[in-house]
Amino acid sequence: MAEHRNPSPRDRGGERPRRAAGPRTGRRRDERGGRPGGERPAAERAGVAPRGGSRLAAKGPRLPEPRVPEEVTGRELDRAVHHQLRTLSKENADGVAKHLVMVSVMLEADELDAALAHAETAVRRAGRVPAAREALGMVAYRRGDFARALTEFRTVRRLSGSEHLLPLMVDCERGLGRHTRALELASSPQARALTGAEALELAIVVSGVRRDLGQLDAALLALQLPALTRRGGAGVHRLQYAYADTLLELGRVDEARDWFQRALDGDTDDETDAAERLEELDGVVVEDLGEGAEEPTADEGDGPR
């Protein structure tokens, strides 16, 4: 995918092998390529095209595709995604790459309907490319369509063999209200083998599941990883934010404030609202003056003296 901030698990709690061929029937085909004894398939005898259609059969009408700006070339994608697209023709690979870039752009702009149109187009053109299925899953996740997102993430897992989407899969189970299944998936050997930012995201999701169940002490414990006390690193500020939010839920306000500050210090991309949370705790009220409104000037003061 193009470089962009990937959507992270919902913050209610604080926030790749091919399928094996089917079993052989063991029945020997006639040397001429037909069924045993040379009998033609029933569908062929009836004049019906075989399942899957003839290569010369007319294709259905091509669905209209969303527009891609001329400045988008597709080269904005990561090298790993381009490697996946090598299974396609050059023309198709170029088109799919452009749509994947647009998914990232539209997600960044929070234009979810447009992102969905580009993601669905990419999947229609490259349904067995993991990056295309992941893009569609990400859009569905952001839209709150957790059943569809989970289906797409499972497909990515099957096609690629990668477990990097497990935190999002657990959060989809949570979003569907299946907390027991979420915890079972989070405790699977594959989930326990996660490292780095993915392990931190999984801890945040598990903490959120525990909070949903009213298990606040367990929610706090789920976040107490060695990375919690670091002063940098991918995902550390999100872990600290979730920890602060859970402390606040437990009524430990002073501790919560300290951890919100740590999260803010490490949140260089404004992924969290730690600044706003600190202002709330400090009693700072920021008023929205509304469109077109102006703040009083120094000459106006606060009224007549």
Distance CA 139, CA 127 (A): 16
Where are the alpha helices (H) located in the chain, listed in sequence order? 42-45, 79-84, 90-108, 112-125, 130-142, 146-160, 166-175, 179-186, 189-192, 196-212, 216-222, 236-249, 253-266, 274-281
Residues of the chain with pLDDT under 70: 1-61, 285-305
**Beta bridge partners of residue 2, listed in sequence order:** 77
DSSP state of 58: P
Provide the pLDDT for residue 61.
58
Provide the pLDDT for residue 59.
47
pTM for this model (two decimals): 0.74
Give Dmax over CA atoms of the chain in angstroms: 108
Q: How many CB atoms lie within 10 A of CB 239?
A: 28
Provide the pLDDT for residue 52.
41
